[in-house]
Structure 1
Amino acid sequence: MRSYRIAGATVNQTPLDWSNNIAHLKQVIKLAKEAKVEILCLPELAITAYGCEDLFLSEWLPEKAKSFLPALIAETEGILTTLNLPIRHEGKLYNCSVVVQNKAILGVYAKQYMALDGVHYEPRWFNPWPVGVVKEIELFGESYPIGDITFDIEDWKLGFEICEDAWRGKDRPACRLFEKGVNLILNPSASHFAMGKTWDRHDLISNSSAFFECTYVYANLLGNEAGRMIYDGEIMIAQHGKMHLRSELLSFEDVHVDWVDIAPDQSIAPSPEKVAPVIPKEEEFPQAAALALYDYLRKSRSNGYTLSLSGGADSATCAVMVAEMVRRGVSEIGKTAFLSKINRADWEGLTEKEIVGKLFNTAYQGTVNSSDTTLNAAKTLAESIGAKFYNWTIDDSVKAYTDTIEDVLERKLTWEQDDLALQNIQARARSPIIWMLTNITNTLLLTTSNRSEGDVGYATMDGDTSGSLAPISSVDKHYIRQWLHYAEKELGYSGLAPINVLPPTAELRPSDQKQTDEDDLMPYHIMVEIERLAIKDHRSPKEVFELLVKEDLEPADLLKTHIIKFYKLWSRNQWKRERLAPAFHLDEFNVDPRTWCRFPILSAGFIEELQEL
C-alpha cells in the first residue's frame, strides 16, 4: 500500500466571529493543499467555535453555521477534510463532522457521547447520536447519510470519534469501529488545556492506535476562544502504538497544519523531529497564560492591562505573565504580526520592554501598614519588565471612611474590636482609584486572586477581588510561590528576587503585628493537600483526615484543626466564589462555580461531618 499525506490542523476561533473563523478555515485548508495533504482533520465545532454556550440553543446559530458550508466545500478540491459544526436534525441538535472530499459531501458523522464533567456541560446543548443508527439528512437539496457511519477511502476505512467519544473506555466508538475493520480514525477535538493534561492525551492516542490496530489522528482547537477555556492546538498522529507526529502547543499563530506521510501498513519508524517533546508544567504555565492574555486582549479590543502591584507573590505572577505575553508573542510570530493583531502597528520601532510599558500599568497603593520592603519589591519588578509604575497612598481615603462610620456609631474603631472591618476598608479603598486608572486608559483590570484564596475566602470583596479578569485564580498559592523561584532563575526575571524572599502577607494590620497569610490561615502546602481531597476528590472531612494523617505532614491534632478550619471557611465563602472575575482554566480543576465546581451558597456547613471528625 502506498503512503498518504495525512494531517491535523488547528485554528484559533471566536464565537460569532464568522468572517475570521471562516477565513481561518479557508487558510488552513489552503496550507494543507499546498503541502499536498490528502486527508485533513480539523478541530471540533471549528466553524462556530466551541464556546458559544447557550447560543447553541437558538434556531438561527446552527443554520448560519451551515450557510458557510458551500464556501468551505468549494475549497476542498483534491483533499478530504472535516467541516465541524452543530447541525439540527429532526428537531434535535447534534455535534457533527461533515466529511468532504474533492468539493463533495460524503456524509455526516454525529458525536455519540456528551462531556458532562469538570468544565463541560455539553448535554445542555447537544443530543448524543444513538449507537449504530444511520439516517438521511438533506443539505442544499441533496440527501446524505448522517449518524454512526464510516467511509471507504482507497486503502483506508475511515471512522470517527469526536473528543469525548474517545474517553468512554469500553463503550467508546473505536471499539465498534475496530470490529468494522476501520484502520483510520479521525478525532476532531475541543479539549481544554490543563497543566500536565497532554500526557493523558498522548497515552490515549498512542494506546488507541495500538489497541485498535489503526492510524489515529487527533486535532484540537487553539487559543483563548471565549474568555475562560484555553485550547492548546495539540495535533497528534499515531499508528500501531507509535507516535508519528506531535505538534508544539499553545501557538500564537491563528492557524497551523502538521502532517506525516504514512501507509496503512506502515513499517517505517517515526521521525523524531516530527514529535515535539512534552514540556514540564513550569513551562506550560506561562506559555498558556501568555497566550490566553494575548487573545483576551485582542478579542476584547482593549488597550492593555492594569494591575495593583503589591509586592507580593500573586500580583508578581500576574505581572510576569503580561511580560511573557509580549516576550513569547514577539519571539514566535514576530513584532510586526504581534502588534498588528492588537492594532498597534505604530509601535514597530519599540523594544519588547517598551511595548510592555505601552500595554501595562501597575500601581503600588500603600497605607501606613505597608512597608518600604514591599514598595521597593513592586517597583523593582515593574521597572525590570518595563511596566509603567505608579505609587500613591490611600490613607486619606481610609481615614474618610473610618471617620464617617465612627461618627455614625459614636465610637472609635479599634483593632481589638474591629479587626476585619479595618483590614477590609483598606483593600476596598484601593479599588475605586485603580478602576479609575483602568477606565481612563481603556485597559483591563487584573485581579490577583489565587485558588487557595478562593477556597477559604481570603480576599476582600470589592477590594482585592476587583477586576475584569483573574488570570491565576485556578492555580494554588503553594505552586505560585514555587513557580516564582523558577521564573527568577530559569526565565531570567531577576526583578522577582526581592519578592521571592518575602513571606506572603496582606499588610493590612499594623506592622508590629507581623501579619502573614499562613498565620491567618494555615501553611499553604497543607492547604493544597486538604483542597485536593476535599474539593477535587469530593472527600468528607473524616476521609480527608484518615488519608492525610498517613502522610505525616504535621501533628495529627494540628492537621485536624486545619481540616476543620478549611471546611468551615469553604462553606461560608461560596458567595465570594460566585462573584470572582472570569478566570483562565489552567490547572486540572478550579473553584469557579461557573465552570468546574458548584457548591450551595447556603448550607449547614458540614456541621455533622465535622463533628464526626
Structure 2
Amino acid sequence: MKIGIAQINTTVGDLTGNSQRILSAYKALVADGADLVLFPELAVCGYPPRDLLFKSRFVSDTEDALDAIAQQIGSVPAVIGYVQDRGPCITGRPFYNAAAWCESGEVKTVAHKSLLPSYDVFDEERYFEPAEGPTVYEWQGQKVGITICEDIWTHPDLKTSRRYCNDPVGKLAEQNIDLLLNLSASPWHEGKNEAREPLVQDAAERCGCPAVYCNAVGGNDELIFDGGSLAAHPERGLVAGLAAFREENHVIDLASPAGYVSEQFNLKGNAATQAALVLGLRDYAHKSGFKKALIGLSGGIDSAVVAAIAAEAFGPENVVGIALPSAISSQHSRDDAAALAQNLGIEYHEVAIAETVASAESALGDLFAGRAADVTEENIQARARGLLLMAMSNKFGALLLTTGNKSEISVGYCTLYGDMCGGLAVISDLPKMKVYALARHMNLERELIPVNTIEKAPSAELRPDQKDEDSLPPYPVLDGILRLYVEEGLSRAEIVEKGYDSEIVNDIVRKVDLNEYKRKQAAPGLKTTPLAFGVGRRIPIVQKYVS
C-alpha cells in the first residue's frame, strides 16, 4: 500500500486557505501514486482553534468546508482532521475532535479522538467530548485503525500516559488491524522529536501492522509544529521520515524495503532550535500580515541572535536594526551593533536617546528633588528606547521583536514598557546559556555574530560599568536553578539538595514569584522548552504560597 502523507502548514481559522492547501496536496499525492492520503489533526480549521470554537458559526463553517473538500475527493480516500458538532446533547462538551474518511465525493465515516490532553499548552477538555474508543474502518478488505494525536501517547514510560485510563492503541491491537493511522498536531519543544519515533514504533509493534503518523508543520501563535511525519513497520522499524520544520508531501510505499528518510528528518540540538525559531517567527509575522521586522540592537548577545533569526526568517532586506545609544552607552557596543548589521546585510540606523532621557529627567526633576538616583533613572533609558522603537514600528508597519531571554524574564531583569515592548518575544523561552550556544552554532560557517559580542561580559548598560552579574548569579547557576524551579516545579529545599547555595536559591525563587505581573504583560513568546511562560503556565499574580 502507498500512503500519501500531507504534512501541510495551516493557519488557524483560514478555512478557505486551508481547504485549498488540502486539495492541492491531495491532488499532488494522488498524481504521485498514493492509494490513501493522510492529513494532520484539525487540518481544516488549523490547530489550536481555542475559543474560536465558541463563535456562533465557526464549527458549522468548518463542517461546511469539510463537506466542500469531500465533494472533490475521488476514489483515492483522504483522511482529514476537522471539528464536528455533536448536535443537540444534554451532557458533555459540544464538539468532537474528528477525522473524516472522505472518498468518492462524500464522507464515508468519522472517527473521534479518545484522549484529550489538558496539560501544558493543551486545553481540549474545554471543548471536546472524548470518544468511547478508536475507530476501525474496513477498506478494500483491510481493517484501518484511525487515531488522533494523543491517542497513541500511552507508552508507560511517558508521564502523560498516567493521565489516562483508556488505551486506544491497546484496543486497536485487540482488533487485529492491518494499518494504523494517526493524525497529529504535536507542537515541538527540545527533545520532543526524540520521543516520537519510538512511540510510533511501539504502536506499530503492539498492533502488528504499519503505523503512519502525519504531523502538522508551521507556527501558530507561540506554538511551533515541526512536522517530522513518519511511518514505522513492526518488523523493519522506521520506513519513512519527512522533513522537520517545513512542508513536505510524500508517498510512502509500505511494501518497499527501501523506505524514505529526509535529510531534514529529526533535526536535533542547536540546528533544531534555530530552524524552529525561524519557522515560528516567519509564520507569526506572515500569518499576521507583517513583511518587515524591527529590532533594537544593543551590541549584546540577545539582540544579535534575534537579528540573525529575523534575517533568515524575513530575508535581510526586510529587517531593520536600530541602535539607540544613551549618554553612557559604550563605544564597543555601538561598534558591535554596526558590525552585526553589516555581517547580516540588514538595514542599520542609530537613534540617540540622550536628549529624550534628559527631557524626561527634567520633567520629573522637581517631583524627584531630594531623592537619590536609582533604578528609576535606569528604566527611563529603557522606556525611552521602547517609546522610539514603537514609534518606528507604527510608522513603518514593521513587527518590533523583543530580545529578552528566559533567564532575564524569569527573574524580572527587564523593564516593563521598555525593553519588553514589541509584538513577539523570539527567544523568551531560551535560557541565557542556550542563547550563547545558539550564537556559536550560527557562526559555524562564517562569522555572523561578532566574536566580541559573544565573549564580552553581558550588560544592560543602564549605568556606568554595569554587568549582569552585579544583580544576578553567573548564568550557568541561574539557568540551573530556573530549570528546576520553573520547568520541573521543585521546591527551594529540593533545589538546595541538588547542590545550589540556599541564599542564592531563595533570592532567585523570590524574584521569579514577584515578577509574575511583568510576564503577564509581556509579548507572546515562541515555545522551545517543555514548559514556557505563556498559556502553558498559569500561576496567579497575587498569591502567598512559599514552596
- Aligning the two structures, in what range does the TM-score lie when normalised by the shorter sequence? over 0.9
Q: Which secondary structure does the structure 1 equivalent of 2:351 belong to?
A: strand
Q: Which secondary structure does the structure 2 equivalent of 1:151 belong to?
A: strand
Deviation at 1:159, TM superposition (A): 0.7
- Are 2:50 and 1:41 equivalent residues in the alignment? no
- Structure 1 counterpart of 2:281: 293
- Are 2:189 and 1:194 equivalent residues in the alignment? yes
Superposition map of 1:502-513 within 5 A: 502-510=456-464
Instruction: Quote the sequence identity (%).
Output: 26
Out of 293, 299, 302, the residue aligned to residue 305 of structure 1 is 293
- CA change 1:388–1:53 in 2 (3 A) is same
Counterpart Cα distance in 2 of 1:459 and 1:604: 23
- Are 2:118 and 1:158 equivalent residues in the alignment? no
- Structure 2 counterpart of 1:498: 452
- Structure 1 counterpart of 2:116: 114
Counterpart Cα distance in 1 of 2:261 and 2:215: 20
Deviation at 1:102, TM superposition (A): 2.9
**Preserved CA contact (<8 Å) 1:568 1:605:** no
One-letter code of the match for 2:398?
T
- Are 2:205 and 1:210 equivalent residues in the alignment? yes
Deviation at 1:275, TM superposition (A): 7.4
Counterpart Cα distance in 2 of 1:282 and 1:477: 14
Counterpart Cα distance in 2 of 1:36 and 1:99: 18
Q: Which secondary structure does the structure 2 equivalent of 1:203 belong to?
A: helix
- CA change 1:494–1:66 in 2 (3 A) is closer
- Are 2:544 and 1:604 equivalent residues in the alignment? yes
Query: Deviation string for 1:163-196 (max 9, x for gaps)?
Result: 1111134632010000011121111011011133
Counterpart Cα distance in 1 of 2:540 and 2:368: 34
Superposition TM-score, scaled by structure 1 size: 0.84
**Preserved CA contact (<8 Å) 2:241 2:260:** no
Equivalent residues, number: 532
- Structure 1 counterpart of 2:225: 231
- Are 2:436 and 1:481 equivalent residues in the alignment? yes
Moved more, 455-464 or 148-157: 148-157
**Preserved CA contact (<8 Å) 1:533 1:544:** yes
Counterpart Cα distance in 2 of 1:519 and 1:474: 23
**Preserved CA contact (<8 Å) 2:180 2:212:** yes
Deviation at 1:276, TM superposition (A): 5.3
Deviation at 1:202, TM superposition (A): 1.1
Query: Deviation string for 1:544-587 (max 9, x for gaps)?
Result: 111x21xxxxxx5xx21211111110111000010110111122
Deviation at 1:155, TM superposition (A): 4.7
Moved more, 559-568 or 53-62: 53-62
Superposition TM-score, scaled by structure 2 size: 0.94
- Structure 2 counterpart of 1:587: 529
- Structure 1 counterpart of 2:243: 248
- Structure 1 counterpart of 2:161: none
- Structure 2 counterpart of 1:261: 253
- Structure 2 counterpart of 1:408: 367
Superposition map of 1:36-435 within 5 A: 36-90=33-87, 91=89, 92-131=94-133, 148-169=134-155, 171-225=166-220, 227-240=221-234, 242-251=237-246, 253=247, 256-263=248-255, 269-271=257-259, 273=261, 277-326=265-314, 356-357=316-317, 359-411=318-370, 413-414=371-372, 418-435=373-390
Query: Deviation string for 1:355-384 (max 9, x for gaps)?
Result: 513x11111111122100110001000111
- Structure 2 counterpart of 1:527: 478
Q: Which secondary structure does the structure 2 equivalent of 1:187 belong to?
A: strand
Deviation at 1:259, TM superposition (A): 2.0
- Structure 1 counterpart of 2:398: 443
Larger % of helix: which? 1
Counterpart Cα distance in 1 of 2:264 and 2:239: 10
Counterpart Cα distance in 2 of 1:76 and 1:275: 31
Deviation at 1:25, TM superposition (A): 0.5
Query: Deviation string for 1:271-318 (max 9, x for gaps)?
Result: 365675532211111211112222222222223011100011110111
- Are 2:511 and 1:569 equivalent residues in the alignment? yes
Q: Which secondary structure does the structure 2 equivalent of 1:150 belong to?
A: strand
Counterpart Cα distance in 2 of 1:425 and 1:515: 16
- Structure 1 counterpart of 2:427: 472
Counterpart Cα distance in 1 of 2:471 and 2:297: 21
- CA change 1:274–1:154 in 2 (3 A) is farther
- CA change 1:600–1:299 in 2 (3 A) is same
**Preserved CA contact (<8 Å) 2:296 2:322:** yes
Out of 4, 26, 51, the residue aligned to residue 7 of structure 1 is 4
Counterpart Cα distance in 1 of 2:135 and 2:369: 78
Q: Which secondary structure does the structure 1 equivalent of 2:109 belong to?
A: strand
**Preserved CA contact (<8 Å) 2:184 2:213:** yes
Q: Which secondary structure does the structure 2 equivalent of 1:161 belong to?
A: strand
Counterpart Cα distance in 2 of 1:469 and 1:96: 32
**Preserved CA contact (<8 Å) 1:230 1:584:** yes
Counterpart Cα distance in 1 of 2:265 and 2:137: 33
**Preserved CA contact (<8 Å) 2:33 2:251:** no
Q: Which secondary structure does the structure 1 equivalent of 2:374 belong to?
A: helix
Q: Which secondary structure does the structure 1 equivalent of 2:403 belong to?
A: coil
- CA change 1:78–1:474 in 2 (3 A) is same
Out of 532, 539, 547, the residue aligned to residue 490 of structure 2 is 539
Deviation at 1:604, TM superposition (A): 2.2
Deviation at 1:602, TM superposition (A): 1.4
Query: Deviation string for 1:489-539 (max 9, x for gaps)?
Result: x142344322112111101112xxx32112311111112211222111111
Counterpart Cα distance in 2 of 1:364 and 1:34: 52
Deviation at 1:232, TM superposition (A): 1.3
Query: Deviation string for 1:174-223 (max 9, x for gaps)?
Result: 10000011121111011011133111111111122123211101111111
**Preserved CA contact (<8 Å) 1:364 1:390:** yes
Counterpart Cα distance in 2 of 1:13 and 1:169: 29
Deviation at 1:15, TM superposition (A): 2.1
- Structure 2 counterpart of 1:578: 520
Q: Which secondary structure does the structure 1 equivalent of 2:294 belong to?
A: strand
Counterpart Cα distance in 1 of 2:150 and 2:105: 28
